[in-house]
A and B are shown apart, each in its own frame.
Chain A
């Protein structure tokens, strides 16, 4: 499938900012089943972008903008060719061994409730069956709702609340898998809804390392493995580590964030 992605993030400040420094994880890489044809990041003010790559293999940019700034708009446009590989990730930059994704973080800390929840999931006959069962268990336990994510919400809090956004479901799945010794990581990316509708923000899902297959994506919100409607952008240990934008600003006041993402299939009009 040929997916066309348009992504606009606007930060509006109630007071002018002296400086804004941001780490962007907005650029997808190419691997089997995902070929980036075209990708562009634009900033609407006098800013400098420095490209780099982090230890997980993510393509990153540091953004440095000098004020006074009332607002800053990041626009991303790109086209990606995708194949349905049933969630199996191969050919991606993988600088780190899977065991590095057993590390607990503040957002994915395993508490007794998560450990008990994960342990109660039937293991099936294979690692693959087990991973699918975990994803379905999270999907059933934590009701998916569309809303604005709370960046500080932990997996344990989401499990207890039994409801959450994509980030929360992903954290619960990641923490549950790790509690069983299965390496798991957080993926931020895009998902093209049927009919080409737009998603509120980006989309999040998990990848579990399954014996005999390697990394496989599991989307607990949609209860499915990613297919050719998904674009994988960045990975990390949790939402914070894979966040599209991690930023700070120097200046007072508050900020308001508007995010608009359009992911549509370009197949019909090509």
Chain B
């Protein structure tokens, strides 16, 4: 297993006695808190998660046992300038994603001008031809984007992956914070941490803003595949926190291209659906006819403009890994500016030269299936066995168009509690970006995933990853209301002053 020398976000470069001056306090807290005490708090947090039922099922295992995602008690911190840099880049990126979707399901300017190869979009199964010409309510396709970021140095952030379908994990951002406030209150006294508990309100406001009908109280619901789904906890948690109904397909019906929810008091018209069901299963008439999870006619209601689907169907074309490599060009095309958040260098194996380079350097590269997710269908060259490398070599030669390759990045590390005390472990970061009619809102926080195995670069929960709380620092010191377990900000004025909610203009 090759050693990867990585930047540590708290301790700085390896063997740097000074660490990072911005985070001296955190380094001191880590040093001063006995490992046994950290262990105790971590176990208390995990016990609470287990009790809440924050579990997930691991696919591909014989017995898809429900388990909790391991939680790490040492938080990760982003300073206010770092967050500013990130949020500007994120706003630009999700605006470009929405502009791109509006274009490919409309005039297709970007294809006509040859910025992205037309075949790559049009022949991609994620491009849903029958939806071409349908403009979603208020023109917004991807209301919720989870943008996966990695870091390699003090100011070096890269987008690793865009998630524009139904990104999950936001419940961990909220639950991890609750646990940290309860178990490590001293950290919140030392640092001015921006609260994250506004997220459910922001999401509900985003949903209400895209309701097709103008009215006082649009009816929003969360559509779940049901309690067998690995993310069911998150579905019920979000519906609860937003105060909206959690429904399954059988609770909805479509009549005259209008969606209705069946209730004891009769039918209620539905305006906005936060659907946590993939396109393929959402409507047996429009997509897979064998789906039992979907609502017949839902897509017709969407095409008629009578319901907003969050996110809209067909957004998968924007987060396909083969399209990802064109994101810098896509951002430039729609925003007129260079991408503020760069991509990781990507070799498109569909191109002969890139394929050759990939085959010649398999031991150094990360190879991914363009339509894979969750860390499945992925080769991490430096840590792979000879047999795995050989398997991918054969697959690449057989179907090169299905793969991309990237250099193995020295992902930053964050101190993490291990059996041998606190030690560096690699991390990534998924902030959640909301787009409504008022522009892009990013709640200052996100999901930090950590690869718990020493040296591992795979952070996916399905592959033995854990999570951490991600603390975003405010510019000015702020008082935390510590009543109960929630962290709450008080007046909206304060929030605007510390720049916690980004509303940077209308999407293009």
Contact = CB atoms under 8 A, between A and B. Distances in A.
Interface of A: 19, 21-23, 48, 50, 52-56, 62, 64, 66, 95-97, 99-100, 102-105, 151, 236-237, 240-241, 246-248, 250
B267 to A, nearest CB: 12
Given A19-B253, A22-B285, A102-B123, A55 B128 contact: yes
A43 to B, nearest CB: 14
Nearest to A54: B130
Given A55-B134, A62-B257, A248-B296, A103 B129 contact: yes
B110 interface: no
A241 B130 contact: yes
A52 B304 contact: yes
Contacts of A96: 122, 129, 132
A104 B125 contact: yes
B289 A246 contact: yes
B133 interface: yes
B256 interface: yes
A99 B118 contact: yes
Contacts of B300: 23, 50, 52, 62
B119 interface: yes
Nearest to B300: A62
B354 to A, nearest CB: 20
A55 B313 CA distance: 13
Contacts of A103: 122-125, 127, 129
Contacts of A151: 289
B123 A23 contact: no
B108 interface: yes
B351 interface: no
Interface in B97-147: 105, 108, 111, 118-119, 122-125, 127-134
Given A56-B129, A64-B254, A103-B129, A21 B123 contact: no
B296 A21 contact: yes
B238 to A, nearest CB: 28
Contacts of B289: 151, 240, 246, 248
Given A103-B127, A246-B285, 19 more contacts: A21-B285, A23-B285, A48-B255, A50-B300, A55-B129, A55-B130, A55-B131, A55-B132, A56-B130, A56-B132, A62-B297, A62-B300, A96-B122, A99-B118, A100-B122, A100-B129, A103-B122, A105-B125, A247-B285
B370 to A, nearest CB: 14
Contact of B254 (A21, A54, A241): A21
A19 B255 CA distance: 10
